[in-house]
Amino acid sequence: MESLTLLNTLVGFDTTSRLSNLQLIRFVKNYLAGFGVSSQIVENEDGSKANLYATIGPTDRPGVMLAGHTDVVPVDGQHWHSNPFQLDVRDGRAYGRGSADMKGFIASVLAQVPQLARSQLHTPLHLAFTYDEEIGCIGVRRLLEVLGGLPVLPAMGIIGEPTRMQLVAEHKGKTAWRVTAHGHEGHSSNPEAGVNAVEYAAELVSFIRSLARQRRQHGPFDPLYEVPYSTLHVGTMQGGTALNIIPASCHFDFEIRHLPADDPQPLLDAIRQHATQVLQPEMQAVDADCGFSFSEKTSYPGLLTPPDAEVVRFMQGLLQDSNPPRKIAFGTEAGLFSERCGIPTVVCGPGDIAQAHQPDEWLALEQLAACDAFLGRLVAQLSAG
pLDDT tens track for 57-109: 998 899 999 999 999 999 999 999 999 999 999 999 999 999 999 999 999 99
In degrees and rounded to multiples of 5, residue 72 shows phi and psi of -130, 165
Average pLDDT, the chain: 96
The pLDDT value recorded for residue 195 is 97
> Of 384, 369, 350, which is closest to residue 111 (Cα–Cα)?
369
The pLDDT value recorded for residue 371 is 98
pLDDT band at 149 (very low <50, low <70, confident <90, very high): confident
The pLDDT value recorded for residue 129 is 98
* Residue 377 amino acid letter: R
Percent of the chain whose pLDDT exceeds 70: 99
The answer to whether the beta carbons of residues 165 and 374 sit under 8 Å apart is: yes
Sequence-distant (6+) residues with CB within 8 A of 46 are none
pLDDT tens track for 316-373: 999 999 999 999 989 999 999 999 999 999 999 999 999 999 999 999 999 999 999 9
pLDDT over 70 at 50, yes or no: yes
Q: Residue 9: count other Cβ atoms within 10 Å of its Cβ.
A: 16
The pLDDT value recorded for residue 253 is 98
pLDDT tens track for 164-175: 999 999 999 999
Q: pTM for this one? A: 0.91
pLDDT tens track for 272-331: 999 999 999 999 999 999 999 999 999 999 999 999 999 999 999 999 999 999 999 899
Which residues are tagged catalytic? 71, 133
Residue scoring higher pLDDT (333 or 1): 333
pLDDT tens track for 233-260: 999 999 999 999 999 999 999 999 999 9
pLDDT band at 12 (very low <50, low <70, confident <90, very high): very high
pLDDT band at 150 (very low <50, low <70, confident <90, very high): confident
| Domain range 2-170+303-384, its CATH number among 3.90.79.10, 3.40.630.10, 3.30.200.20, 3.40.50.2300 | 3.40.630.10
The pLDDT value recorded for residue 147 is 86
The pLDDT value recorded for residue 151 is 84
Helices (H), 62-192: 104-111, 113-118, 139-147
The answer to whether the beta carbons of residues 371 and 122 sit under 8 Å apart is: no
Specify the DSSP class assigned to residue 132: -
The answer to whether the beta carbons of residues 108 and 368 sit under 8 Å apart is: yes
> Of 58, 2, 51, which is closest to residue 22 (Cα–Cα)?
51
Report the distance separating Cα 330 and Cα 19, nearest Å.
Answer: 23
Architecture of domain 173-300: 2-Layer Sandwich (3.30)
pLDDT over 90 at 152, yes or no: no
Whether 173-300 and 2-170+303-384 are alike in CATH topology: the answer is: no
Query: CA dist 251 to 167, 281, 283, 289, Å?
Result: 39, 19, 16, 16
The answer to whether the beta carbons of residues 123 and 384 sit under 8 Å apart is: no
Q: Where are the domains of the chain?
A: 2-170+303-384, 173-300
